[in-house]
């Protein structure tokens, strides 16, 4: 009887253990931005599917065809911080963030232009450089102050992207989400945090209706 009770207690203790988190996303390419992310299980309001993504931390990395543990950051922050502008973007010093590195609204605006297919913002290298500049993540770029001799948006597209984003007056994140990536279930091994775009529910419905209407027209034409 005592042995049976011990076995039951052992089984109950096992069922009481918290379930370990499973990998919930996979980075499909690491060659050039924008990257491609496959969300395997819903993360916050980011549903399973394939998304374009852009990194917001230059000094962290991820690997091709590798799965990660993703967490949606409700404060829109990168996990390790990195650098920030001490004052106005492009016109002040770059300093360490001390762990509080929140995504700037202008970065979200710029990424939104890309994913919603605005033809003026489809150069991926310029997009990544502009976001790294706004987020103060690339020293080689942030050493160039806006208005200095090295600042020529007519020649350097990423600089034009920066100026447009800062002039946009963006004051919200819209559909942009920050996903913190981890290489382990315990969230101790940092990977490169990404931003993705979640379409508004109404946009998804309209897109579905549009596809259905196209299908209807094709069926009519085949009759």
Of 21-25, 115-119, 170-174, least confident by mean pLDDT is: 21-25
Say yes or no to pLDDT of 17 above 60: no
Q: List residues bridging with 71 in a β-sheet.
A: 180
As given in the structure block, the two tokens for residue 151 are 């600042």
Residues found in the chain: 223
* 130 contact partners, CB below 8 Å, separation of at least 6: 110, 158, 159, 161, 162, 165
> What are the pLDDT digits (tens) for 176-185?
999 999 999 9
Q: Using the 8-state DSSP alphabet, how is residue 88 labeled?
A: S
pTM (whole model) above 0.85: no
In the chain, % of residues over pLDDT 90: 70
Answer whether 82's CB lies under 8 Å from 136's CB: yes
> What are the pLDDT digits (tens) for 60-113?
899 999 999 999 999 999 988 789 999 999 999 999 987 768 999 999 999 999
Question: Which pLDDT score is estimated for 123?
Answer: 98
Question: Which pLDDT score is estimated for 216?
Answer: 40
Tokens 């994140």 appear where? 173
Q: Name which of 176, 196, 195, 189 is nearest 23 in CA terms.
A: 189
> What are the pLDDT digits (tens) for 77-88?
998 878 999 999
Compute CA distances 195 → 7, 49, 91, 133, 161, whole Å.
Answer: 48, 15, 25, 15, 17
Q: Name which of 16, 67, 11, 14 is nearest 39 in CA terms.
A: 67
Quick one: pLDDT band at residue 124, thresholds 50, 70, 90?
very high
């Amino acid at each position: 009887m005592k042995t049976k009770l011990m076995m039951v207690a052992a089984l109950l203790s096992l069922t009481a253990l918290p379930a370990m988190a499973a990998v919930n996303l996979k980075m499909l390419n690491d060659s050039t931005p924008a990257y491609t992310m496959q969300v395997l299980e819903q993360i916050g309001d980011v549903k399973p599917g394939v998304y374009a993504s852009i990194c917001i931390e230059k000094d962290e990395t991820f690997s091709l065809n590798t799965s990660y543990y993703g967490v949606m950051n409700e404060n829109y922050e990168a996990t390790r911080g990195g650098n920030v502008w001490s004052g106005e973007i492009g016109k002040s010093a770059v300093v360490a963030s001390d762990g509080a590195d929140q995504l700037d609204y202008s970065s979200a605006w710029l990424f939104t232009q890309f994913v919603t297919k605005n033809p003026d913002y489809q150069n991926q290298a310029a997009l990544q450089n502009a976001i790294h500049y706004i987020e103060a993540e690339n020293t080689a770029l942030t050493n160039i102050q806006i208005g200095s001799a090295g600042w020529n948006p007519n020649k350097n597209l990423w600089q034009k992207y920066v100026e447009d984003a800062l002039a946009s007056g963006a004051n919200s994140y819209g559909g942009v989400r920050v996903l913190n990536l981890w290489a382990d279930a315990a969230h101790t091994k940092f990977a490169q945090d990404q931003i993705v775009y979640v379409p508004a529910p109404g946009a998804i419905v309209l897109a579905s209706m549009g596809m259905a209407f196209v299908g209807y027209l094709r069926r009519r034409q085949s009759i």
